[in-house]
Structure 1
Amino acid sequence: MASASKYEKVAADVLRGVGGPSNIRSVTHCATRLRFVLNDRDKADKAAVEATQGVITVVEAGGQFQVVIGNTVANVYEALTATSGVATGEGGSSGGLLAKAIDLITSIFTPFLWVLAGTGLLKALLAVVVKITPSFATTSTYAIWFTTADAVFQFLPILLAITAAKRFKANQFVAVALAGALIYSSTIGVIAGPDGASLTLKGFADAGGSLTFFGIPVVMISYLSGVIPIILAVWAQGYIERFFTTILPEALRNFLTPMFTLMVVVPLTFLAIGPLSDYAGQGLSAAVNWFWGLSPVIGGALMGAFWQVFVIFGVHWGFIPVIVQDLATQGYSLITGPLFAAVLAQSGAAAAVFLKTRNRQLKEVAGPATISAFLAGVTEPAIYGVTLRLKKPFIYACIGGAVGGAIAAAGGSAAEGFVLPGAITLTATMNIGNFAMQLIGTGLAIVIAFVLTMTLGFTDLPATDSAEATPVDATVSGDEVTVGLPVSGQVLALSEVPDKVFSSGAMGPGVAIVPTEGKAYAPISGTLVTVMPHAFGIRADNGLEVLVHIGLDTVELGGEHFTPQVQAGQRVSAGDLIDEFDIAGIRAAGFDPTTVLIVTQQGAFTQVVPVAAGQRGAREPALDLVG
């Protein structure tokens, strides 16, 4: 009862500090934080909440007022929701317009982005084969592979319907039926043309036929590859669907709601939503082309210099709809031309670090990171493990990207498909603009980043010897405890984590790991006091408590990409498997998989000393605790 009263007091103080129940739009929690979406931020007293006994700190991010509690957050959450009656669950973002727009775009596009990238790469490879052997384009083999590569993009509205319905809380199957109707208008013949042949609605309108709906003229556009129309249509679907669900009798609701919703939304899209959004999409493409027309060199330099900066802060998602819309309306996007220089410049800087550094662990990271950035355009290992970590090489790469991007844009270069910029996918730019200038610009970007890093240098990490550490589980020796690494990967100082709560040490001392394998192990022996899909708290018999937190803000994934192997209250031994997770899936969803190991309660120990550095395996020593 005493414990319950303690949690209730913390909950009451926090509730008062955020402005009371009426100021809370929704609240949820992760492994360490209460996450509030407030109606009025000005009514919340951040200082008062931070001063509450039992609260570690307050973080404001992503439109959320996040109150960091620690391992007992579930108890405080239960006490708060039991007494206040506030709405639970995600309530969206209450941040600025840009934050809300980026949040909307990422939630709709990220689930299938890798599919677009993979099929785009296939189209780029086919373009190379056709350049080498033109006759291959006339074969049925080419036709089958091209169909494979192009289908996802042509039927993109179906994918968008699924993710948009999830975002707007609409029925996903009705949304797919809606997208199917839009695509049907450009693919299946349903109306007789002048010669009696069956035409699609789009073909009938293009042939001069009078297409109307109850006498109202229909401006029929092509919905193949469309982006904006289906998103707006599903948004409207959500409201209309809820309206019919409310007014229809329960016995008829299940089949009449989809019928009436589609009867309203499909014609509404043909009459208004589609044409208006098509004009808006064409306006976006025209604006980009107009800006490039004024000065492609400046546009290319800016994109080349700042693209990786945009990626770090997540702002690059704002360009994705523009790129996809350009591809749908004109078959290419001028924005994409300079991105190859921006991305591949990072590989040049990472290669120079690989040759110049005397730190064995850094060299082990820089080598593979250079290859993945150069060939596939996957720059996360190069940026977070090498260039941004050392700061100066990242800046040198941005300079190279600016020069190379300007040259590529001056030549009018652009990618024909949606591809991740890399050496392999450079062929996607062969047919748009001056391919030679694209190659020169990209090559110069790599060379500039490489030469600047080699000549101007950087502050190297301390050199390490070549002796391999002996893998061990968490062990106890006298008044000293060794805590093992929960995952394999690149070990970072806690201060390098892009999360104030962890990096400031407010949660406690520890280390961070950029994981290379999707398996997490218990760093100590003890009882699991917290088990969430992405976070695990373990309490040892001697009072020591540790937290393993897989990914940053991954609570928003709702358990997706995580498969816990244990349950709360279970006893584990150091080295036991506690979780399996999909690193690629987490990244594709727009989240950082960096895993944090924190000592939340030191027990009788007075000092926590990080002992791991560089690339390390799970179960190797991570922290020494001294009594």
Structure 2
Amino acid sequence: MADYAKTAAGVLKGVGGEENVQNLVHCATRLRFVLKDDSKADTAAVKAIPGVVTVAQAGGQYQVVIGNDVPEVFAEIGKISKFGGTESAPAEAGPKGSLFTRFITMISGIFTPVLWTLAGTGLLKAFLAAAATFGWIDTAGSTYLVLYALSDAFINFLPMALAITAARYFKANEWTSLAIAGALLYPTITAAVGAEGLTLFGIPFTMVSYVSSVIPIVIIVWLQSHAEKFLYAKLHSSVKRFLTPMIVVLVAVPIVFLVIGPISDLLGGWLGDGIGWVFSVVPWLGGAIMGGLWQVFVIFGLHWGLVPVFQIEFQTTGQMLLIAPVFAAVLAQAAAVAGVWVRARNKNLKSLAAPATLSGFLAGITEPAIYGINLPLKRPFAFGIVGGAIGGAIIAMGGVFSTAFVVPSALALPALLGNGNMWFLVFGLGAAILIPFLMVVLIGFKEPAEEAPAAVATDDVEITSPVDGTVVPLSEVPDAAFASGGLGEGVAIKPASGAVFAPFDGTVVAAFPTGHAIGLRSVNGAEVLIHIGIDTVKLNGEHFTLHVTSGQEVKAGDLLVEFDGDAIERAGYDTITPVIVTNGDAFPAIGDEAAGPVAHGDPLFLAVAAHVPDAVAVN
């Protein structure tokens, strides 16, 4: 069973500790950090943490890919810091980087908390629409009425949900934000949409619909946050608590009705018309771009920039043409990893491909497939892009669209049923699945050599000391993540010299340019991280000389790294060196720990394997 607490502690330490985190949210599969100083993040240590798939840095965010268990890890971070838990702490000084980077960070921060509810109710709406299409439910009956309300209410009142998340992001009063959103959706207001002759304080205006809208509430809550700071500073303490929300609501709502609403409605109409034009004049091009590049956007976390576009298109046109080709993109990568599952001879690769295939097809979660298999193998990822582009082009040519926001997957296909030419949908999805699957199976890929099983080991592994020095218990390391065992079990050594040697015969799996840490895998499958000093990643390689590269085979006693311990200590860093086993599922305990002085090559500890009990003979 995954140890979410250990993963959380390790990740928080690896990004530089709570003090280096400016903001944290999570999406479907990854923790999205905005760090105060990216150079303080120890990517080597983070990647070595059990439960972490990989690390990606894009859009001004340090993204730790976890997979389907990301909400549990996020919750555990909330137990040991002010971040995580049930919501994200707001940024202290706003996100860093370019305007586009800040936009992506803002959108992910505001939309992440509502994503799964939006997708879940959208899926329910899709199933209900499919049931109505096939005559499985009486659309005039009360059952349909209730189910439709359940599936449509959240997206209908989406501005109220976004009022809360935007208020938390911009550090505004969320109850005042709800009051503003409530005014926009008030029954008598929605009933006045399109009415003529409306005036506000004598100023004529046109009432537009705010049902399912996105932009107006985000803009006005941002303005609200600035207005509240001004009013709190200017009003007397005896009245500011109730006068501030009164003034904000009194000013904000008219601003939306007179300015923000009409402008956003106009721009949204143009955007909807533009999307409609592309998908009517050159639909294959729009579909190919969405189907081919969507997973590339996902890698860099840039797909968040399109989430509000989906919603704007739906609000203005009542349909989502953009999201239909994304089904091809998702299923194409799932099909590519299915091809790996079929063709691979490497047992470890097969064991990874099986759950990644199911996750991609059924849930639309492709990160395990992309980061764990398709991208490292290169060809399967490229074949997936080809299949997604061709499938997306065919789907778009059939004018297929969705009437609900869903996470594209096989389970969410009812969202597309009856919307557009279904033959094009069938052919498009067929192409998206068959092309990458057959390309992977027939053309193949460069398969990694068979490795020792990581999840089940049959032999204990002796780990020798990689450095000369004095052994100290891991609990005495002046770093909570190492001392708690959150990064793995092992011991630490106070070095007496500046050389690190291989503790066994094996392979270098991670040789980082900074030289401060190195990951090794023994021929028996034990994975060991040697971390020279505490927080020494901040030295950016100064005082370290790396003598090996990733993928290199080494023998016990081979020189791995040289370092200047005196210079490191003069720079203010402790040189104590943890030596830990990182694949705790295969080697859950250590034994026979050495004590006192050791020389490199001396026995340090025994990595105890998770032995499988012998089968019981049945007569």
Shorter-chain TM range is 0.5 to 0.7
Q: Using a 3 Å threshold, how does the CA distance of structure 1 residues 272 and 363 change in structure 2: closer, same or farther? A: same
Question: Given the alignment of the two structures, is residue 30 of structure 1 paired with residue 16 of structure 2, yes or no?
Answer: yes
Q: CA deviation at 1:446?
A: 0.7
| Cα distance in 1 for residues equivalent to 2:411 and 2:294 | 19
Q: Using a 3 Å threshold, how does the CA distance of structure 1 residues 435 and 602 change in structure 2: closer, same or farther? A: farther
Counterpart code for 1:405: G
| Residue of structure 2 equivalent to 1:260 | 247
| Residue of structure 1 equivalent to 2:411 | 424
Counterpart code for 1:123: K
| Residue of structure 2 equivalent to 1:456 | 443
| Cα distance in 2 for residues equivalent to 1:216 and 1:511 | 72
| Cα distance in 2 for residues equivalent to 1:455 and 1:389 | 19
| Residue of structure 2 equivalent to 1:101 | 103
| Cα distance in 2 for residues equivalent to 1:309 and 1:395 | 10
Q: Using a 3 Å threshold, how does the CA distance of structure 1 residues 617 and 226 change in structure 2: closer, same or farther? A: farther
* Deviation string, structure 1 residues 306-329 (Cα, Å, up to 9, x no partner): 110010011111111110111112
| Residue of structure 1 equivalent to 2:7 | none
| Cα distance in 1 for residues equivalent to 2:517 and 2:19 | 14
Q: Using a 3 Å threshold, how does the CA distance of structure 1 residues 330 and 390 change in structure 2: closer, same or farther? A: same
1:383 pairs with one of 367, 370, 374: 370
1:90 pairs with one of 89, 92, 112: 92
| Residue of structure 2 equivalent to 1:70 | none
Question: Given the alignment of the two structures, is residue 301 of structure 1 paired with residue 288 of structure 2, yes or no?
Answer: yes
| Residue of structure 2 equivalent to 1:594 | none
Q: CA deviation at 1:161?
A: 0.8
| Cα distance in 2 for residues equivalent to 1:324 and 1:611 | 43
Fraction of identical pairs, as percent: 40
| Residue of structure 1 equivalent to 2:542 | none
| Residue of structure 2 equivalent to 1:215 | 202
Q: Using a 3 Å threshold, how does the CA distance of structure 1 residues 241 and 611 change in structure 2: closer, same or farther? A: closer
Alignment of 1:11-50 (within 5 A): 30-31=16-17
147-156 or 286-295, larger mean C-alpha shift: 286-295
| Cα distance in 2 for residues equivalent to 1:324 and 1:506 | 47
Residues 137 and 144 in structure 2, CA contact (< 8 A), matched pair in contact too: no
| Residue of structure 2 equivalent to 1:311 | 298
Q: CA deviation at 1:153?
A: 0.3
Structure 2 residue runs without a partner (length 5+): 1-14, 24-36, 41-55, 63-89, 475-481, 490-506, 522-526, 538-572, 594-599, 603-619
Counterpart code for 1:96: S
| Cα distance in 2 for residues equivalent to 1:388 and 1:399 | 14
SS at match of 1:224: coil
1:329 pairs with one of 295, 304, 316: 316
Q: CA deviation at 1:279?
A: 1.1
Q: Using a 3 Å threshold, how does the CA distance of structure 1 residues 338 and 63 change in structure 2: closer, same or farther? A: closer
- Give the number of aligned pairs: 453
Alignment of 1:135-150 (within 5 A): 135-150=137-152
2:386 pairs with one of 382, 385, 399: 399
Alignment of 1:152-301 (within 5 A): 152-184=154-186, 187=187, 200-204=188-192, 206-208=194-196, 210-301=197-288
* Deviation string, structure 1 residues 102-139 (Cα, Å, up to 9, x no partner): 11211111111111111111111212222333543233
Residues 184 and 190 in structure 2, CA contact (< 8 A), matched pair in contact too: no
Counterpart code for 2:189: L
Residues 473 and 620 in structure 1, CA contact (< 8 A), matched pair in contact too: no
| Cα distance in 1 for residues equivalent to 2:180 and 2:163 | 8
Residues 64 and 95 in structure 1, CA contact (< 8 A), matched pair in contact too: no
| Cα distance in 2 for residues equivalent to 1:493 and 1:172 | 51
Q: CA deviation at 1:353?
A: 0.6
Q: Using a 3 Å threshold, how does the CA distance of structure 1 residues 466 and 248 change in structure 2: closer, same or farther? A: closer
Q: Using a 3 Å threshold, how does the CA distance of structure 1 residues 164 and 439 change in structure 2: closer, same or farther? A: same
Q: CA deviation at 1:479?
A: 7.9
Residues 413 and 433 in structure 1, CA contact (< 8 A), matched pair in contact too: yes
| Residue of structure 2 equivalent to 1:509 | 518
| Residue of structure 2 equivalent to 1:352 | 339
Q: CA deviation at 1:280?
A: 1.5
- State TM-score, norm by structure 1: 0.64
Q: CA deviation at 1:62?
A: 5.3
Q: CA deviation at 1:603?
A: 5.1
Q: CA deviation at 1:494?
A: 6.2
Q: CA deviation at 1:427?
A: 1.4
| Residue of structure 2 equivalent to 1:374 | 361
Counterpart code for 1:201: I
| Cα distance in 2 for residues equivalent to 1:485 and 1:251 | 49
* Deviation string, structure 1 residues 333-391 (Cα, Å, up to 9, x no partner): 11111111110011111111111112212111111111111112111111112111211
Q: CA deviation at 1:35?
A: 7.6
Question: Given the alignment of the two structures, is residue 442 of structure 1 paired with residue 429 of structure 2, yes or no?
Answer: yes
* Deviation string, structure 1 residues 228-265 (Cα, Å, up to 9, x no partner): 11111112212222222122111111111111111111
Give the aligned CA root-mean-square deviation in angstroms.
4.1
Residues 58 and 301 in structure 2, CA contact (< 8 A), matched pair in contact too: no
- State TM-score, norm by structure 2: 0.65
Q: Using a 3 Å threshold, how does the CA distance of structure 1 residues 64 and 429 change in structure 2: closer, same or farther? A: closer
| Residue of structure 1 equivalent to 2:114 | 112
Residues 331 and 417 in structure 1, CA contact (< 8 A), matched pair in contact too: no
| Cα distance in 1 for residues equivalent to 2:328 and 2:98 | 31
SS at match of 1:510: strand
Residues 333 and 360 in structure 2, CA contact (< 8 A), matched pair in contact too: yes
Q: CA deviation at 1:416?
A: 1.1
Q: Using a 3 Å threshold, how does the CA distance of structure 1 residues 378 and 511 change in structure 2: closer, same or farther? A: farther
SS at match of 2:517: coil
Q: Using a 3 Å threshold, how does the CA distance of structure 1 residues 452 and 389 change in structure 2: closer, same or farther? A: same
| Residue of structure 1 equivalent to 2:125 | 123
| Cα distance in 2 for residues equivalent to 1:202 and 1:174 | 20
Q: Using a 3 Å threshold, how does the CA distance of structure 1 residues 214 and 134 change in structure 2: closer, same or farther? A: same
| Cα distance in 2 for residues equivalent to 1:487 and 1:113 | 33
Q: Using a 3 Å threshold, how does the CA distance of structure 1 residues 352 and 273 change in structure 2: closer, same or farther? A: same
Q: Using a 3 Å threshold, how does the CA distance of structure 1 residues 201 and 610 change in structure 2: closer, same or farther? A: closer
Counterpart code for 1:301: A
| Cα distance in 1 for residues equivalent to 2:164 and 2:601 | 53
Counterpart code for 2:191: G
Residues 485 and 618 in structure 1, CA contact (< 8 A), matched pair in contact too: no
